[in-house]
Chains A and B, each alone.
Chain A
Amino acid sequence: MTETWTLILGLAAATFAVRLSGCLLGRRLPDHGPWARGLQALPGCLILSLVTYLLMQGGPQEWAAGAAALTAALLTRSLPLTMAAGIAAICLIRAYF
């Protein structure tokens, strides 16, 4: 029991410290030039890295569903429709292939 509470409180403190440090770090970076351009490009690059990693973990089924989701994203630019297309595609592919 105490081990669980140690983990909960410890992980909460550590996670909050990480979140706050990022905020303090961002404040110290300059407003213009390479650092600012890098910081601006960071969200897209980080999300793209995550998607690349998730698709790497999967196989051809996930890649095909990813292609279906990308097609929906390009056609509709809608978050709910893209999620629906991706989930429907992975269900169909897993059921029939």
Chain B
Amino acid sequence: MTLQDLPQSSTVRSRLAAGLRDILPLAVGVGVYGLAFGLLAAQARMSGLQTGVMGTIVFAGSSQIIAVERLVAGAGAGAALLAGLALNLRLLLITASLRDEFAGRPWWQVLLGVHLATDENWALMHAMRARGGCAGYWYLVGGGLGLVAVWVLSTVAGATFAAVVPEPKSLGMDFAFTAAFIAILRSLWSGSAMLLPWAGSILIVLLAGRFTPLDPTWTLILGGLGGAAIAGVMGND
């Protein structure tokens, strides 16, 4: 690592703040899902402490939902763990694609960065950069810190005040992330070279979802890898 790679602490602060600010609309959606997860945690007889610890050290919403739902359904801890883990395999692709952000960083920053990497702040970082914005490691971490705070607070609140929490669907909030990812896709579109890889991804997901009994996790991974493979093989750089 050379000297100019070390950002000034004021630059670090401003990037952290930018990540934190830009994640806000997504954090509202995460908060609503946090409340819903808290409801589920209460059904699993989890305490506020357990819910908060889980949100902090697992920090992967959809896998927490699946795993605790399995627990409520009477599956053992092992089966619940496997279901949650399967859903998290896509995180492997997410942190793999963060290679350039982690290059040359000290080990504690890498460990912090991988733990805070989620669909939301990772996608937002790529979208921001595709639009010409300056978004890298600290932008990702700023968004991640905002998300972890909102996730822990909302899940603990949901578990504690389970009786008065509304269903996300009744507020249309079940659609919040679909809309957010559509906006992020718009920012990631960078020209006709992406037409074939993107069409490939859509086709793979449609075919796998329609004609195979594959679990959603594998469908997503197949779609993502399939599109990336097309982009790799086409080779026009």
Contacts and interface: CB of A to CB of B under 8 A. Distances in A.
Interface in B44-77: 44-46, 50, 53-54, 57-60, 63-64, 67-68, 71, 76-77
B185 A44 contact: yes
Nearest to B217: A53
B76 A79 contact: no
Given A45-B224, A49-B223, A79 B183 contact: yes
A47 B179 CA distance: 12
B17 interface: no
A22 B223 contact: no
Contact of A22 (B50, B95, B176): B95
B213 interface: no
Contacts, number: 280
Interface string B198-220: 10111011100100000010011
Contacts of A45: 197-198, 200-201, 223-228, 231
Contact of B219 (A14, A44, A53, A94): A53
B126 interface: yes
A34 B182 contact: no
Contacts of B93: 22, 42, 46
Given A8-B58, A52-B202, A18 B92 contact: yes
B166 interface: no
B173 interface: yes
A19 B96 CA distance: 8
Interface of A: 3-12, 14-16, 18-23, 25-27, 29, 33-35, 37-56, 58, 62, 65-66, 69-70, 72-74, 77-80, 82-83, 85-88, 90-91, 94
20 contacts: A4-B71, A6-B77, A14-B85, A18-B91, A20-B95, A22-B98, A26-B98, A27-B102, A37-B232, A42-B97, A42-B224, A42-B228, A45-B197, A48-B198, A51-B178, A53-B223, A56-B206, A66-B178, A69-B178, A70-B186
The 7 A-B residue pairs with the shortest CB-CB distance in the complex, in nearest-first order: A86-B179, A45-B227, A49-B223, A38-B232, A22-B95, A41-B231, A46-B224
